[in-house]
Chain A
């Protein structure tokens, strides 16, 4: 029984992190129309920055905040230097049918660059990453409780982020502007909303969400230029399972995958995790091709 509960809690905590990464993908997809394969590369990069700060004697919290800020800055830089010029480029007739995929390919290029740079700067060595609170199970007399302070910390942090993002998108002017810019850029511009600025903002928010996911997951995966690739695959699956354009769907997708992976690891064997991810993806695509909370077939151009 204890094993089951501990599996559920670990799964929920990991699922919350996947949800965060998936949310980052959904925000950029909705806000800028790009499937961003570089997202966890950005997160890896900023987690390295945090790791270096900690290694040189700074506190975890300073590193934590610096990583989040650099995550949003990196997102903005990617948009301003690469994505915005690409979007403004007139596509020739030969590339017109492929126009939607150009930024996606660019994001793969950015991923490769970030991983290469991390290899150059930090020699690509695999290193651990600390947790701010204890990651051992709570002691309860002679036995242990089936969860750690870090599990609770992760779930709490992700919950706060989700609530503030929901508040931001539904209750503030900037959130309304971002949603309008994503859903109907023309009407948004006619309403005086600066659409390209909204896109940059969505890259910034997504970058910060990805960075946070990186900070929270690396204590259990370790940090190297490629360790977060797997998280991208899981997050992407979670986003697709949830419907790709639904933030709530991304969260549900993240939790399904987190708990599913934890159950497979505990009761099956860890090498079947990939198979399980694929199974979840196929099953959802067969039953609900647009994802659990996906809308009708609307694809922005």
Chain B
């Protein structure tokens, strides 16, 4: 059982203090969602956990390991995979190359498992399976998001950091992607930290909610309770 524990995390983004003492726990095998308005520091939080941004102070522990300020390429080897914002795929690569890229670092030692992992993600997202040879640039937004998630999944993560998977996608596609993640979490015990602007969708599948405002945690409670808290919604989410 590995939990992600973030304590008093402070990160500057340029000259702006993006995270100002953030603490929370994402429990093993659960979906924890981080919600909040634009600029609340949600993306910076994920980027600091995965090592893309340097924390100024505070700690991030993953199970027994302290992973604060390790390099991203080391953190992914510890089972933490990050799908950054904006359907991050390489458009000139084929769909298969984009997926294979995520497993390169363990291909030499585990080539059979890499093959298994690739066929698993293609089962999870059959639309990608039909398009393995196509270039990623020719995919729709939803398919690109599935591809970015697949790239992360073939690294066999125990913790998946998902940054705004719904950004720019049609509601139906969002639903499909969120449900795939939900299914994956429930069936494999994957721990998910889901950053979303679309609070309603995120809270509907999540076990736990963390609400950020201006780099601080303003609420940390079970998702169902947060969803029912109309005062909180009006104050911070504006609906």
Q: Is B233 an interface residue (CB 8 A)?
A: no
With A187-B90, A190-B82, A190-B84 as contacts: A180 and B72 at CB distance below 8 Å: no
With A179-B93, A180-B90, A183-B90 as contacts: A190 and B50 at CB distance below 8 Å: yes
Contacts of A186 in B (CB 8 A): 52, 84, 88
Contact B88 A193 (CB under 8 A): no
CB distance from A40 to the nearest CB of B (A): 29
Contacts of B50 in A (CB 8 A): 190
The B-contacting residues of A in range 155-204, CB under 8 angstroms, are 173, 176-177, 179-180, 183-184, 186-195
CB distance from A168 to the nearest CB of B (A): 14
With A187-B88, A190-B50, A190-B82 as contacts: A180 and B101 at CB distance below 8 Å: yes
A177→B93 CA distance, assembly (Å): 11
Contact A187 B76 (CB under 8 A): no
CB distance from A124 to the nearest CB of B (A): 45
Q: Is B97 an interface residue (CB 8 A)?
A: yes
Contact partner of A184 among B72, B90, B100, B104, CB < 8 A?
Answer: B90
CB distance from B102 to the nearest CB of A (A): 5
A242→B4 CA distance, assembly (Å): 49
Provide the main secondary structure of the chain A interface.
helix
Contact B52 A193 (CB under 8 A): no
Interface size on B, residues (CB 8 A): 28
Interface size on A, residues (CB 8 A): 18
Q: Report the nearest B residue to A195, measured CB to CB.
A: B73
A43→B169 CA distance, assembly (Å): 51
Contacts of B89 in A (CB 8 A): 187
Q: Is B81 an interface residue (CB 8 A)?
A: yes
Q: Report the nearest A residue to B50, measured CB to CB.
A: A190
The CB with the most chain A CB atoms within 10 A, among B72, B76, B100, B108, is that of: B72
Contact B101 A193 (CB under 8 A): yes
Contacts of B100 in A (CB 8 A): 173, 176
Contact B155 A192 (CB under 8 A): yes
With A183-B90, A184-B88 as contacts: A191 and B76 at CB distance below 8 Å: yes
CB distance from B121 to the nearest CB of A (A): 14
Q: Is B107 an interface residue (CB 8 A)?
A: yes
Contact B71 A189 (CB under 8 A): yes
The A-contacting residues of B in range 105-140, CB under 8 angstroms, are 105-108
Contacts of A176 in B (CB 8 A): 97, 100-101, 104
Q: Is B92 an interface residue (CB 8 A)?
A: yes
Contact B52 A191 (CB under 8 A): no
A204→B76 CA distance, assembly (Å): 27
A194→B108 CA distance, assembly (Å): 15
Contact partner of B73 among A173, A183, A184, A193, CB < 8 A?
Answer: A193
Contact partner of B76 among A177, A179, A192, A295, CB < 8 A?
Answer: A192
Contacts of B225 in A (CB 8 A): none
The A-contacting residues of B in range 132-160, CB under 8 angstroms, are 151-152, 155
A5→B80 CA distance, assembly (Å): 61
Contact B104 A173 (CB under 8 A): yes
Contact A188 B101 (CB under 8 A): yes
Contacts of A179 in B (CB 8 A): 93
Contact A189 B90 (CB under 8 A): no
Contact partner of B92 among A183, A188, A192, A194, CB < 8 A?
Answer: A183
* A interface residues (Cβ-Cβ under 8 A, vs B): 173, 176-177, 179-180, 183-184, 186-195, 295
Q: List 24 A–B pairs whose Cβ atoms lie within 8 Å, in order of A's numbering.
A: A173-B107, A180-B90, A180-B101, A180-B104, A183-B90, A183-B92, A183-B93, A186-B52, A186-B84, A187-B88, A187-B90, A187-B151, A189-B51, A190-B50, A190-B52, A190-B76, A190-B82, A192-B73, A192-B76, A192-B77, A193-B104, A193-B105, A195-B73, A295-B92
Closest 9 A/B residue pairs (Cβ): A192-B105, A189-B72, A192-B76, A191-B102, A191-B101, A187-B88, A192-B73, A190-B82, A183-B90
Contacts A184-B88, A187-B151, A192-B76 given; 11 further ones with Cβ under 8 A? Answer: A176-B97, A180-B101, A180-B104, A183-B93, A187-B90, A189-B52, A190-B82, A192-B104, A192-B106, A193-B73, A295-B92
